[in-house]
Structure 1
Amino acid sequence: MPRAAQPTPPAGVESTRSDGDAGHFPASLLYQAAKLYYTEDATQADVAAQLGTSRATVSRLLSEAKRRGIVRIEVVPPSEVTVGDLSDRLARALSLTNVYLSMPLPTPGPGRTDLDVMGGALAPAVGRALSAAGLLPGDALLVSSGRTVYEVAQYDLVPLPGVRVAPTVGGNDQPEAWYQTNEITRLVADRIGGRPNYLFAPALPGPDLYPSLLNDPSIQRVLDLWSHARCALMGVGAPPLMRSDIPQFVPTGSSSLRAAVGDVCSRFFDRAGEPVEFEGSERLIAVELEALRHVPVTIAVAVGAEKVESIIGGARGRYFNQLVTDPATASAILDTVERP
């Protein structure tokens, strides 16, 4: 039987059959081998057959193609690795115990904004943070007012039966649902199977009403929980003079608030994390910033470019030791704190 004809090798392959210098392979040959192997899924044996050379030479062709930049291989980490690295970097940058990142916020539909979609995206991460807090029946969980916490409370969190839930600030005279702290307390208690404790007081009572409220036994019971709380879940407010949505009791015309970059529990602070007072704030029925520093687990939840400086200032003041946010906000914070 006559011997089968061998394929005629392309120009430049003859030298490969005698194991010539790989560095002298023509670029066209390197490209041809790489294209067959990487884009057409041919095996090295297939490539060798088509080029009329050995598998060993094909291996050298592919190595040379990578060395000369004809083949560029990108290794993309899975999303959980990327997110883990980002959360660790942010925790170190802000000196926080933990940072919990949500999935990216979904694109809002027509007529909707990020405010309308953030609750569902953030709730699972908030649930992880609360679960890790180790709360037991009888422990106190404080919750703040604000749109972010209110939206998160519309979704399932984590079962924490028997945990006592209490507001960090008065606000039963506020028209918006997200500043009605008793409503948020009820929602969070429902989501975790806890026991709500209500605070029937305005956030900023008048001079005559203030002392009588402090002497009320039902209010004293809630204030006592502030000093014994195991955990606090709080929103972070944007700079007060840049906000279109703010509690009615905040005097936005106050010159002192020009220095404020944000607030937690309606207590304002500046860029360095130092407290910022305003006229009448000595009557504010809200947990003190100093008291928050002594709560073992303090979880801030916030998203948005307008809150980057607010989050940084709150972390510098040590008013929270954990953060729940989305990847976009986390990256924006890192860009700010790592800026030369």
Structure 2
Amino acid sequence: MSHVNSPPGTPGRAAARFPLDVIYQAARMYYLEDATQVEIAQRLDVSRPTVSRLIAEARRLGLVHISVTDPFIDENAGLAEALRDVLGLKAVYLAPVTHASTLGSDLAIPVAAAIADMQLGVGDTLLMSLGRTVHDLVFSGSLPPLSGVTIVPAVGGQAEPQPWFQTNEITRMAAEVSGARSRFLFTQSFPSAGMRAGLEADPTFLQVTDSWKTAKGALLGIGAPTATRENLSTGLPEDKHLFDEAAGDVCLNFFRADGSAVEFPGSERMVRVSRDNLANLPHAIGVAVGVDKVLSIVGAIRASLINHLVTDPATAKALLVGTKGGLQH
């Protein structure tokens, strides 16, 4: 659907590159009369490339507003409600469609809706996790304005080589694109016993970890089953077989499909928001897309690590089919 505003009497903030009346006429004929660019060129006595530039200029100046309506909006709303009820979640938000190359921007609208429902205000804290989906969301600039809110990492990620595990950088960018404030964790996720003891005496570290207990919400990526993943965080123990039973993880809290915790020697010194902290969050928003994440999403819900879900219709339908078929624990 297109709407063309009448040209203002004087140019707006952006200077027009052509006469405003000509820009308006070209846009009106193109969008409202369905005239071709060749027809417009003949009627305005200009070249066809000039018509293309006139139409682009109309959009640049704000004379044209285009909206695209999701044809499945009612169907998706019903799907979200059904999934919410079946999984026992507080809310489910669906993106109309997603693609790996545009995942961050595809999820922007449902994530914004989920964050809006948090009703974050000045002084509130939002936790930010790690993972490809959260990384893509943040670095696509797809977070809503969060002025006065403080964003903090929910897990350590210092010295990680992969950008989607670099929690300080994800947090920094999230604050930049949303206008929020930020705090950081200057430690890896699995520090040595000596380093962990030192961290417990560091006021900056304690300020962040204390905020995990009082945060109003969190944006949480849900990791896929470890057996299907090419790599894990380098901050974890080197023996990757420790996680063979894991159906997924949230902030490096690994869990089986039945929701039970996958722990390992030294896991008590992990720098990560705890399962109890996540379970007590008013808005623990899990973000995950793909049929390979079905068991991971269900496991995260059974573990009480998320209570809201952002996904797409294909994943939602796979979840409904899986739950009706009795997903294996």
TM > 0.5 between the two? Answer: yes
Look up the match of 1:253: 239
Look up the match of 2:84: 91
- Secondary structure of the 2:146 match is coil
* Distance across 2 between alignment mates of 1:251 and 1:219: 22
* Distance across 2 between alignment mates of 1:252 and 1:305: 28
* Distance across 2 between alignment mates of 1:254 and 1:188: 30
What is the one-letter code of the residue matched to 1:81?
Answer: D
1:179 and 2:172 aligned = no
* Distance across 2 between alignment mates of 1:299 and 1:182: 19
* Distance across 1 between alignment mates of 2:91 and 2:221: 16
- Secondary structure of the 2:244 match is helix
What TM-score, normalized to structure 1? Answer: 0.73
What is the one-letter code of the residue matched to 1:240?
Answer: T
Look up the match of 1:307: 293
1:225 and 2:211 aligned = yes
Higher CA-based Rg = 1
Look up the match of 1:48: none
Shift of 1:150: 0.5
Give the aligned CA root-mean-square deviation in angstroms.
Answer: 1.5
CA deviation vs aligned residue, 1:75-114 (integer Å, no higher than 9, x gap): xx951110001101111111001000002114xxxxxxx2
Instruction: Structure 1: give runs of 5+ residues left out of the alignment.
Output: 1-76, 107-113
* Distance across 1 between alignment mates of 2:190 and 2:241: 18
* Distance across 2 between alignment mates of 1:305 and 1:257: 20
Contact 1:119–1:153 (8 Å) recurs in 2: yes
What is the one-letter code of the residue matched to 1:124?
Answer: I
- Secondary structure of the 1:275 match is coil
Contact 1:254–1:279 (8 Å) recurs in 2: no
- Secondary structure of the 2:219 match is strand
C-alpha change, 1:254 and 1:245, in structure 2 (3 Å) is closer
Select the residue among 278, 294, 302 that pairs with 1:316.
Answer: 302
Q: Which runs of 4+ in 1 moved over 3 A?
A: 251-256
1:148 and 2:141 aligned = no
C-alpha change, 1:84 and 1:252, in structure 2 (3 Å) is farther
Instruction: Structure 2: give runs of 5+ residues left out of the alignment.
Output: 1-69
- Secondary structure of the 1:276 match is coil
Shift of 1:252: 6.5
Look up the match of 2:268: 282
Percent identity reads: 40
Shift of 1:248: 1.1
